[in-house]
Each structure stands twice: as structure tokens, then as C-alpha cells.
Amino acid sequence: MTPFTTHTGIVAALPRVNVDTDQIIPKQFLKRVERTGFGPALFHDWRYRADGSPDPAFELNQPRAAGASVLIAGPNFGCGSSREHAPWALGEYGFRAILSESFADIFYANCCQNGLLPVRLTPAEMTELFQRHAAAPGPYHLTVDLERCEVRDDAGFRASFNMDAYRRASLLEGLDEIGLTLQLEPEIAAYERRRAALAARYAS
Amino acid sequence: MPARTLFDKVWDAHVVHQVAGGGPALLYVDLHLVHEVTSPQAFEGLRLAGRRVRRPDLTLATVDHNVPTGDRSLPIADLVSRRQVELLLENARDYGIELYDLASPAQGIVHVIGPELGATQPGMTIVCGDSHTSTHGAFGALAFGIGTSDVEHVLATQTVLFQKPKTLEARFHGLPGRGVGAKDLILALIGQIGTAGATGHVIEYTGPAIRALSMEGRMTICNMSIEAGARAGMIAPDETTFAYLMGRLKAPAGRAWTAAVDRWSLLVSDPDARYDRRVDINVGGIAPQVTWGTSPGMVTGIDGAVPEPASFTSPAEQEAARRALAYMGLEPGRPLEGTPVQRVFIGSCTNARIDDLREAARVVRGRRVAAGVRAMVVPGSMAVKAQAEREGLDLVFREAGFEWRNAGCSMCLGMNPDILAGGERCASTSNRNFEGRQGKGGRTHLLSPAMAAAAAVTGCLTDVRKLEPAGEAILVG
Ligand code: SF4
């Protein structure tokens, strides 16, 4: 997994509620059998007009969002389908961190699996960030620091966030989760022996 | 031992390892369901790392999302879809996984065939790379959707890392009125608590209205747990559950059956068990439900009106409502009843089981699909299709002018050729009314099979209770 320690980048704002993974990556792009190639299709139906040209009204197409790598989003971001293609698409587009007051559970887990940091802030902090973003004359930058569990800008904004210790450590070190679990082989095998013994007892 | 909920009991029985310091638990997986869309990258990862599938015997695969629902004797016309289906065939063969392919009489939507085969059983942990895995919780299993990285993790280790969720009891008081069924109950709950209302929780559904439901109805309820934000929903098993499972292909038989029922009967929440939260729903006051927006929580009774965006509290919700109404082409304040539809879809893992088709057929019998409406029935599995044909339901639908198709996800997500055109309005028994879900620009109204049938024969959103002359067959069992 790609490690995440600290990242500073341009902010794009998507202040919509309940953005679902069908919008993040529409179904017609789920036919790929690779983990790559999804970036150009990110937010496809919002991002492009019928003739295929970028829709200037869409938040990510605005000039100040060019090169954005930090997304600030409305609540319940990533709801709906479990498709991991959604974080793949966001990551390939260039996002490294997503900030919201809440995420859907499966999406949150999928982001962590891909080194895309989901950060939960309070509603008041999110409101503040949306305001600072809107008020900035040019591109607005944020630093997302997983080592200190902190989000900050260079004009005095500072907010801390929580992440469970296991996920945080995996992200900081970019650990191979399957490799780690395989080290627990004796415990898995012991569980399977108990399970088989129970099954045998019920069958007799 | 302290009092435990149904969820606690299943959870405790599956912890292989607990990460210290409040971290996730490593849970053993009893059944891993696999389909063609979310698995190719997982198998590829496995192959690259030189890993094997630990328990192919606990893994079961089917093709459903991509498959055409028309003529099965033809190759899949869309080459990319075909490649994805073929790749699952190859992977299943290479790793020794049982597969229900297009030629199998048991093929169907993964969440329909698991229970139908008797593979889904009380007390199990079940995962699948699909958010509607919550469906299987209807049997008292702990079943939840996972992403592709976790699919690979389960293939390689037969375990999954999972942060212990909180519990929420959704207690349904009273019994539903005429024309109100499982779909209406779950839509009403989502309307009440919102699409993020149960995030971080597992819902246990309780109360007399839940007990009275068939297994099909219970699956409809648990299926949409994810639409309330919950990764899993559960219903304690009882005689209805056991009667459904008895004699099924993969269910225990003989002495093992008796032992299994004894064990499953213990899978209830202890009387003094505590949930982290509780929500109460008064069933008697629920009218048949229909969504008006682009999120399952944007829902109201068919006797209601399209809401005014200003009636929502937060500015973000008001903006979301305005966007949704613009997308849906609806005017605030107008009654929903009477809104014309061009398409009707009876299908999906929410509502394409035999009971759902019976419910729709009861409304359709002796009537015709309204002029200008294209209506289709897509059974959830080939077994449901065969059963419906034995009961003559296919004739009821066909004679009325419905298309009668083969099993698959079909227009629930429109990965196959079954899609809405821009601006087309559809009465759909599926589970998501997201923008573009059923086709770019398509407008989806979620409702029950009976309500979908009523829309088909009248050509507009209709209160099914008004359609049936008084004294005729009860609409929903
Ligand atoms: S029927 Fe729809 S919701 Fe169910 S598994 Fe298929 S695509 Fe997903």
C-alpha cells in the first residue's frame, strides 16, 4: 500500500451531501479488470457535458481546483455501492486526502486500503474550511499530517482528527495487510480446527 | 456471561484475533460470495503475490452484474462485459471455486442464490464485494459488503479485518395496513433516520411486523440496511427461517439438521441485552412508499406531495433537494400520485424473489400495461424464474404486456443493455435512485413490487390500495 505521512496540496471543494460512489465512478467504467485507468472517468457524469467537453460549472473543473490533491466534501461522502473503483479513481486523479464530517463505512475502509486518507472533522471545522476555500483569492492549500493527526493551513487554521491506531500505523508505514494477517497463520489454523471439531460434533 | 445481542453472539464466535488497543478484529469468514465486477483485481493481486485461495470450499461465485437478460444462447455482445465474465470463469477454474455460470439453472443475483441454495445460514459470517451483502442478515447471519482489497484478503486468508460496529435496534411496532409490505417498511425507516442514519452500526430489526414477514420480505428489509448507512442488518432466525432453509441443497440434512436448528434457535438477543441505539417505527401509520429524489432517504407516502426544498433544515439539504427535484423533473407541492412513468422495472436483489413476483402478479392479473409504458420483469435467479413459470406467473405478466427476462442485476444498475434513456421516468423495485444509476439522465422512483405493478397498469405513480376493488385478494401477505 502507498504510505501516507504528511501531504500539502491544493484544495478542491465539493460541498454536496450524500455523494455516492455511483457519481464518483459511474457503472459503465466498472468493466475494467485492472486497478488503473479510472482517473479520467472520475465524476464522469458531472464532469463532462454530452459532447465530452468539461462542464465548467462542475466544481473540479474550476480553474482554482486545477492540480488539487485535497478534497473537502459534504457529509456522508462515498455512500452506496462498495466499488473500490471509487478510491482508485480519486487516487488516480491526484487526490491524496479527503476531508468530510462523515464518510460511508465501506468507502472509508476502501480509502485506507489505497493510501487515500479519509479525514473526519467536525461540522464546524468543515464549514470553516469551505469558507476559507471560498474566500481565498487563488488556490487554497491545506496540509494533512497523519503523524500529528492534524489538518492546517498557513493562515491559522488548525484541527486535529482521530483515526484508529491500527489503520493509522498501516497507512504511515504502507503495510501489506494480507502479509500481516498471514503472520497470524497459527491462530487462523487453530480457529479452523475448533470450527471443524464443532462441525463434526453437529454432524454426528 | 453478560446479556448479549444477536450481533454480539455471532461476532464473538468468529473472532480469530483481536488487534490490541481498540483496533479491528480479525474475523473468520464462513461464506465468501464472489461476482465478476469486484473480483478481477483481487485475483490478479493474489496471482502477483503467488498466493493461493485458502478455502475454495467456503467460496461461491456467480455472474450477475454484467450479464444480458435476453437470449442466453447468444454470446455477450459487449466485449468488455464478456471479458469480465470469462475472467471469472477462468479464475474460478484456476482456484477450484464453485461457479454458477450463465448455463447453470441456479445462476442468478448473488444475494438471491446464496439463500436459495441454502448456503446462507443463521450464525454465519458472510462477505462479498458488494454492498447489498447485508441481505443475508435476514437469516441471522452477520453479512456485510467489502471492497476489492478485502476480497483479496479473504481469498488469501479466509478472514477479514473489521472494526467492531455499534448496534442499533429498529423496532417496528404494530402491523402494516393493506397494501403495505416489507419494501414500504424499510423505505419508511430510511426516510425517518436518513441515508447516514445508521453509519457505523449494525441494525437488528425487531417487532411483530418483522416476525410476520416471509423470508423474502425479511431479505428486502436487510438488503436496504446499507441504504440507511448500516453495513449489516440482522433478523433473529425463527420457524420461518428454518422452514425456508429445510431441504435446500447446501442446508444440513438428517441429524445434522436437527442439531443445526437447536444451535440456530439460540441466535436471539438476550431479553436484557443492550443496543447502543434504538429507533421506533409505528407501522400502522405507514402508507405505500415512493421516493421523489435521488437518494433513498428522499421518500414519502404515495398519498404525499413533492416536498418544498425550503422545508429542510440545513442549507446543504435544501440544496440537495433542489438539485434532486431539478434532476427528477418534479415540482414542489404537487402530489406524487398521477406522475406519469415510461418504464417499470420489477427486479434486483431487493425485490425479485418469488414472493415479490407473486405480489406484483396479483395486481397485474387481468389488467394490461398502460399504453406508452415499457415494463419488464427480471427474476432474481433462474430458479425464481422456473418457479414463477410453474405457477403461471410468467403468463400473467406476458399477457399484460410485460417483458419476461432471464436473471441478472439488469436495470438495477444498468451495466448490461437494460438502461433508461435520459429523461425517462421509471417505477423500480430496486434499491438506489442515485442520479444516472439506471442510465444517464434516467429518473428512478423506488417502490414495492405491488406499487410497481400498479404503475405499470395505470401508466403513472398510483396508490395500489385504490386500484384493488374492496374485498378482493389481500395485496401483500
Ligand atoms: S441487483 Fe442491483 S443492488 Fe443487487 S447486487 Fe445487483 S446491482 Fe447490486
Query: Where are the domains positioned within chain A?
Result: 6-173, 177-204
Q: From CA B324, how far away is CA B295, in angstroms rounded? A: 8
Instruction: Give the CA count within 13 Å in the CB-facing half-sphere of B53.
Output: 23
Q: Which atom of ligand 1 is nearest to the CA of B432?
A: 3
Q: From CA B195, how far away is CA A73, in angstroms rounded? A: 16
Distance B466 CA to ligand 1 centre (A): 31
Give the DSSP H or E segment for B325: helix B315-328
Query: What is residue B414's predicted lDDT score, i.e. its pLDDT?
Result: 84
Distance B420 CA to ligand 1 centre (A): 16
Tell me the pLDDT tens digit for each residue of B343-385.
Answer: 999 999 999 999 999 999 999 999 999 999 999 999 999 999 9
Give the chain A residue nearest B263 (alpha carbons).
A202
Place of cell 454536496: A16
Q: From CA B342, how far away is CA A85, in angstroms rounded? A: 32
Asked if B471 and B363 count as a contact pair (C-beta separation under 8 A), the reply is: no
Give the DSSP H or E segment for B376: strand B374-377
A197 CB within 8 Å of a chain B CB? no
Query: What is residue A119's predicted lDDT score, i.e. its pLDDT?
Result: 98
Q: From CA B76, how far away is CA B61, in angstroms rounded? A: 19
- Chain-chain contact of A30 with B415 (C-beta, under 8 angstroms): yes
Distance A124 CA to ligand 1 centre (A): 36
Asked if B176 and B288 count as a contact pair (C-beta separation under 8 A), the reply is: no
Q: Which atom of ligand 1 is nearest to the CA of B352?
A: 1
Mutation site for B-interface testing, chosen from A25, A48, A79, A193 by largest number of B Cβ within 10 Å = A79
Q: From CA B211, how far away is CA B240, in angstroms rounded? A: 8
Query: What is residue A193's predicted lDDT score, i.e. its pLDDT?
Result: 97
Query: What is residue B469's predicted lDDT score, i.e. its pLDDT?
Result: 58
The strand pairing partners of B203, in sequence order, are B168, B233
Q: Is the CB of B348 under 6 A from ligand 1?
A: yes
Q: Is the CB of B224 under 6 A from ligand 1?
A: no
A49 CB within 8 Å of a chain B CB? no
Nearest CA to ligand 1 atom 2: B412
Residues of chain B short of pLDDT 70, as ranges, are: 468-477
The end-to-end CA distance of chain A, in Å, is 46
Q: For the stretch B256-266, what's the b/e string if a residue is b when 16 or more beta carbons lie within 10 angstroms of its beta carbon?
A: ebeebbeebee
Q: From CA B158, how far away is CA B28, in angstroms rounded? A: 6
- Chain-chain contact of B21 with A165 (C-beta, under 8 angstroms): yes
Query: Does the domain formed by A6-173 have CATH 3.20.19.10?
Result: yes
Query: What is residue B476's predicted lDDT score, i.e. its pLDDT?
Result: 47
Q: What pTM, to 2 d.p., does this model score? A: 0.96
Give the chain B residue nearest A27 (alpha carbons).
B415
Query: What is residue B71's predicted lDDT score, i.e. its pLDDT?
Result: 84
The strand pairing partners of B167, in sequence order, are B202
Q: Give the closest residue to B374 by CA, choosing from B424, B446, B444.
A: B424
Asked if B476 and B355 count as a contact pair (C-beta separation under 8 A), the reply is: no
- Chain-chain contact of A105 with B200 (C-beta, under 8 angstroms): yes
Asked if A141 and A131 count as a contact pair (C-beta separation under 8 A), the reply is: no
Tell me the pLDDT tens digit for each residue of B167-184.
Answer: 999 999 999 999 999 999
Query: What is residue B79's predicted lDDT score, i.e. its pLDDT?
Result: 87
Smallest Cα distance from B105 to chain A, Å:
25
Smallest Cα distance from A92 to chain B, Å:
16
Q: Is the CB of B130 under 6 A from ligand 1?
A: yes
A100 CB within 8 Å of a chain B CB? no
Nearest CA to ligand 1 atom 4: B349
- Chain-chain contact of A188 with B16 (C-beta, under 8 angstroms): yes
Q: Which residues contact B99 (CB under 8 A, 6 or more apart)?
A: B61, B62, B63, B88, B89, B92, B93
Q: From CA B305, how far away is CA B286, in angstroms rounded? A: 15
Q: From CA B160, how far away is CA A181, in angstroms rounded? A: 9
Q: Give the closest residue to B227 by CA, choosing from B274, B293, B150.
A: B293
Residues of chain A short of pLDDT 70, as ranges, are: 204
- Chain-chain contact of B28 with A191 (C-beta, under 8 angstroms): yes
Contacts of A20 in chain B (CB under 8 A): 295, 432, 434
Q: Can you point out the beta strands (E) in B22-114?
A: 25-28, 31-34, 59-62, 98-100
Q: From CA B108, how far away is CA B110, in angstroms rounded? A: 6
Q: From CA B211, how far away is CA B386, in angstroms rounded? A: 28
Query: What is residue B477's predicted lDDT score, i.e. its pLDDT?
Result: 39
A6 CB within 8 Å of a chain B CB? no
Cα distances (Å, whole numbers) of residue B125 to B11, B153, B159, B436: 8, 15, 10, 33
Tell me the pLDDT tens digit for each residue of B114-170.
Answer: 999 999 999 999 999 999 999 999 999 999 999 999 999 999 999 999 999 999 999
Q: From CA A22, how far away is CA B356, in angstroms rounded? A: 26
Q: CA angle, corner B35, sides to B89 and B422, nearest 5?
A: 115
Q: Is the CB of B113 under 6 A from ligand 1?
A: no
Q: Which residues contact B395 (CB under 8 A, 6 or more apart)?
A: none
For the beta sheet containing B277-282, the strands, ordered from the edge strand earlier in sequence to the opposite edge, are B232-234, B201-206, B166-173, B277-282
Mutation site for A-interface testing, chosen from B134, B250, B434 by largest number of A Cβ within 10 Å = B434
Q: Is the CB of B226 under 6 A from ligand 1?
A: no
Mutation site for A-interface testing, chosen from B18, B121, B126, B159 by largest number of A Cβ within 10 Å = B159
Query: What is residue A204's predicted lDDT score, i.e. its pLDDT?
Result: 65
Q: Which residues contact B400 (CB under 8 A, 6 or more apart)?
A: B364, B365, B367, B368, B369, B375, B456, B457
Give the chain B residue nearest A22 (alpha carbons).
B437
Distance B101 CA to ligand 1 centre (A): 17
- Chain-chain contact of A178 with B38 (C-beta, under 8 angstroms): no
Q: Which residues contact B397 (CB under 8 A, 6 or more apart)?
A: B360, B361, B364, B377, B404
Asked if B367 and B472 count as a contact pair (C-beta separation under 8 A), the reply is: no
A32 CB within 8 Å of a chain B CB? yes
Give the chain A residue nearest B156 (alpha carbons).
A178
Give the chain A residue nearest B46 (alpha carbons).
A178
Q: From CA A111, how far away is CA B118, in angstroms rounded? A: 34
Give the DSSP H or E segment for B94: helix B79-95
Q: From CA B207, how far away is CA B210, in angstroms rounded? A: 6
Burial class (CB in 10 A: 0-12, 13-18, 19+), B125: buried
Q: From CA B237, how far away is CA B83, in angstroms rounded? A: 40
Q: From CA B100, how far away is CA B457, in angstroms rounded? A: 35
Q: Which atom of ligand 1 is nearest to the CA of B131?
A: 8
Q: Which atom of ligand 1 is nearest to the CA of B348?
A: 1
Listing DSSP states for B336-352 in one string gives STT-B-SEEEE-TTTS-
Instruction: Name the residue of B35, B63, B65 whose CB sits within 8 Å of the most ligand 1 atoms, as the mutation to test its pocket.
Output: B65
The strand pairing partners of B234, in sequence order, are B204
